[in-house]
């Protein structure tokens, strides 16, 4: 298996622009997680899905952030409009169940100027 795939790996954009991050989980995994990692705040869980359904989005910073999982093999995290404070590394992880081992993707390094 190729593992969790994220794209793009790097994104540089200007404040106010829309940013879309993409994730392909490991085939057969039922749960998908979006995390954000910064030096100041560490690793934060933004939202997670179970069987394509959002279960807990309490970590989503504000309405500018939205996430979707239209099918079992694809998820997006969208930021609109983006702000400099959104600069971070965004990780997607998948697992066979909500409390099972999580497998992380390589991350998307986002820089908002």
Partner 1 sequence: SQQGEEDPQALSIQEGENATMNCSYKTSINNLQWYRQNSGRGLVHLILIRSNEREKHSGRLRVTLDTSKKSSSLLITASRAADTASYFCATDVAGNQFYFGTGTSLTVIP
Shortest gap between Cβ of 109 and partner 1 (angstroms)? 8
Segment interacting with partner 1 (CB under 8 A) among 19-27, 40-48, 60-68, 70-78 = 40-48
Q: What would the x/- binding string for partner 1 be over residues 48 to 87, using CB under 8 A?
A: x------xx-------------------------------
DSSP letters for 53-101: EEEE-TT--STTEEEEEEETTEEEEEESS--GGG-EEEEEEEESSTTSP
Q: Whose Cβ is closer to partner 1: residue 79's or residue 107's?
A: 107
Query: 53 phi and psi, to 5 degrees?
Result: -105, 130
Structure tokens at 1: 């298996």
Segment interacting with partner 1 (CB under 8 A) among 13-21, 29-37, 66-74, 77-85 = 29-37
Asked if the bond preceding 68 is cis, omega within 30° of 0, the reply is: no
Q: For residues 16 and 82, give the distance between their C-alpha atoms in angstroms, rounded to a whole number.
A: 5
* Interface pick for partner 1 out of 69, 79, 91, 94 (rule CB under 8 A): 91
Residues that bind partner 1 (CB under 8 A): 4, 31, 33, 35, 42-43, 45, 48, 55-56, 91, 93, 98-99, 101-107
């Amino acid at each position: 298996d190729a593992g969790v795939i994220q794209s793009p790996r790097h994104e540089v954009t200007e404040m106010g622009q829309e940013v879309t991050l993409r994730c392909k989980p490991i085939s057969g995994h039922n749960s998908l997680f979006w995390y954000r990692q910064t030096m100041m705040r560490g690793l934060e869980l933004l939202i997670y899905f179970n069987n394509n359904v959002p279960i807990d989005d309490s970590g989503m910073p504000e309405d500018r952030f939205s996430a979707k999982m239209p099918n079992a093999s694809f998820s997006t995290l969208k930021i609109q409009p983006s702000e400099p404070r959104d600069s971070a590394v965004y990780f997607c992880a998948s697992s066979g169940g909500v409390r099972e081992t999580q497998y992380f993707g390589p991350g998307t390094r986002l820089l908002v100027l």
